[in-house]
Amino acid sequence: MPKLNPFFRRWLPVVGVVLLAACSNGTPADDTSETAAESEFAAAKDCMNVGILLPESDSSARYEAYDRPLLEQEIKVALPGVTIQYANANNNAATQQNQADAALTKGACILVVDPNDSEQAAVIVQQAKQSGVPVIAYDRLIQDPDLAYYVSFDNKRVGELQGQYIVDQLNAGNFGLQEGANLVMINGSQTDNNALLFREGAVEKLQPLVDSGDLNLVFDQYTPNWDNARAQSLMEGVLTKEENNVQIAYVANDGMANTVIAALRTQDLNGKVLVTGQDATLTGIQNILTGDQAMTIYKPIIEEARATARLVAALSKGEDTDSIVNGTNEVIGGAQIPSVLATPVVVDRTNVEQTVIADGFLSKEEICSGLPSGAGGVCP
């Protein structure tokens, strides 16, 4: 039984040194770090002009549908009278840098940046620092020691939950899974630090089964820019190479999972292959209810947006952030960034109503629109 490919093994130890982003056991960042950050970013005091820069609008439906309106809503509640400058990079790191420059030119004194490229966005942090403007990395970490704060979910935990779900289903014999099942891994963008962490967490859960021969890894590749069409093409290539002998598709998010399902459908394999996802998108939840996708990861975006808004307000009002920050994240070079990390949740057909519907993230009406009566035991 083949082992993980050499890149898979070579990457793992590097993560611990370079891309560590695990929550520090919920321990708040020390006061020294926060005091230094607050004193360094003088422009933030009494700031009423906030720039919000999001990474893309095509690969994932979440940013325009959820993150943008929630961020704007929560920041306006936390800081009444604030002016918000908004821009979307549409999957272009250079565009995002230009957007940051434009926001600073127009007086933005706090930047909230979800980076298109975690390393290239360091230019934005340094550019802002020259004007005393703090940058809050939103959802994706920016690899820069001068980053003020980071707000996200425990992204390694996301991957762990995805991987553990596969392990549990294999052990239970669900989805017709048996020892030696062929596993495909279609990961996110390698320039997105979160994608690296998702994969790291999943690998930790899946590696023992690959080593024991219970899983056979036949494909493992990142997908540039989380491109959905590229994910479908990758899956089509795997199905051709493996003569459709694939039982599990670890897919990093719902957008790519949907196109992977499209590739499976052409071979009459949809619903027969365990497909993972993430983000609890409308399409992802619908695919779960029709049986084409096994699970997704629900990340209540309102928690990210609200924590970000609290940080923005605290910076503007000159208040400390002890009650907001719940950990630190390490960037390249070892600097610890004060962070707020929320907890992700597994969603499958057994708990759709208790999670995304109960929270109002998605309504039953929109989920069931176009689905057959009784779909997933949820739709009337």
| 337 and 284 in a common domain | no
Query: Is the model's pLDDT at 36 over the cut of 80?
Result: no
Residue 208 lies in a domain: yes
- Over residues 319-336, the mean pLDDT reads 95
Q: Does residue 292 belong to any structural domain of this protein?
A: yes
Residue 294 Cα distances to 40, 232, 287, 368, angstroms? 47, 17, 8, 17
Are 51 and 163 in a shared domain?
no
Is residue 380 assigned to a domain?
no
The CATH number for 81's domain is: 3.40.50.2300
Q: State what percent of residues in the chain have pLDDT above 90.
A: 87
| 165 and 111, same domain (yes or no) | no
Three-state DSSP at 218 gives strand
Q: What is the overall mean pLDDT for the chain?
A: 91
Phi/psi for 28 (5° steps) reads: -60, 150
- For the segment 139-147, the average pLDDT, to the nearest whole number, is 97
Residues 278 and 165 grouped into a single domain:
yes
207 and 135 within one domain: no
Per-residue pLDDT reduced to its tens digit, 356-376: 999 999 999 999 999 999 999
| Average of per-residue pLDDT across 195-221 | 97
275 and 308 inside one domain: no
Which region among 30-39, 144-153, 179-188 has the lowest average model confidence (pLDDT)?
Answer: 30-39
For residue 202, the enclosing domain spans: 155-298+346-371
176-184: average pLDDT:
96
**Can you tell me the mean pLDDT for 249-253?**
98
**Position with higher pLDDT, 243 vs 14:** 243
Does residue 62 fall inside a structural domain?
A: yes
Distance CA(297)–CA(345), nearest Å, equals 6
Task: Give the helix ranges, DSSP H, for 242-353.
Answer: 254-265, 282-290, 301-317
Give the count of alpha carbons within 13 A of 355, CB side only.
Answer: 20
Count of structural domains, the chain: 2
Q: What SS3 state is found at 50?
A: strand
Segment 249-272 shows an average pLDDT of 98
- On the question of pLDDT at 29 being above 60, the answer is no
> Checking DSSP bridges between strand 327-330 and strand 336-342, what pairing results, if any?
antiparallel
CA dist., res. 134 & res. 40, Å (int): 8
Q: Residue 87 class from Cβ within 10 Å (0-12 exposed, 13-18 middle, 19+ buried)?
A: middle
On whether residue 7 sits in a domain, the answer given is no
Beta strands of the chain (E only): which ranges? 49-54, 83-88, 110-113, 135-138, 149-153, 181-186, 215-221, 248-251, 274-275, 296-298, 327-330, 336-342, 345-347
DSSP state of 376: G
Is 182 part of any domain?
A: yes
pTM for the whole structure: 0.82
- For 274, the 3-state DSSP assignment is strand
Q: How far apart are CA 147 and CA 216, in angstroms?
A: 40
Q: How many CB atoms lie within 10 A of CB 275?
A: 31
Give yes or no: residues 160 and 282 share one domain: yes
User: pLDDT-derived band of residue 39, with 50, 70 and 90 as boundaries?
Assistant: low
In a shared domain, residues 231 and 262? yes
Q: Report pLDDT for 254.
A: 97
* Cβ contacts of 80 within 8 Å, gap of 6 or more: none
CA of residue 348 relative to chain centroid, distance: 18
Q: What whole-number distance in Å separates Cα of residue 235 and Cα of residue 237?
A: 5
Asked if 38 and 99 sit in the same domain, the reply is: yes
Question: Is the residue at 294 inside a domain?
Answer: yes
pLDDT tier at 62, thresholds 50, 70, 90: confident
Does position 32 have pLDDT exceeding 70, yes or no? Answer: no
Residue 111 shares a structural domain with residue 141 = yes
Q: Look at residue 90 and tell me if it is in a domain.
A: yes
Check whether residue 244 and residue 200 sit in a common domain. Answer: yes
**What's the mean pLDDT in 186-203?**
96
Residues 364 and 374: beta-carbon distance below 8 Å? no
Do 79 and 316 touch, CB atoms closer than 8 A?
A: yes
Say whether both 236 and 317 belong to one domain.
Answer: no
CA proximity to 348, closest of 280, 299, 283: 280
End-to-end CA, the chain: 46
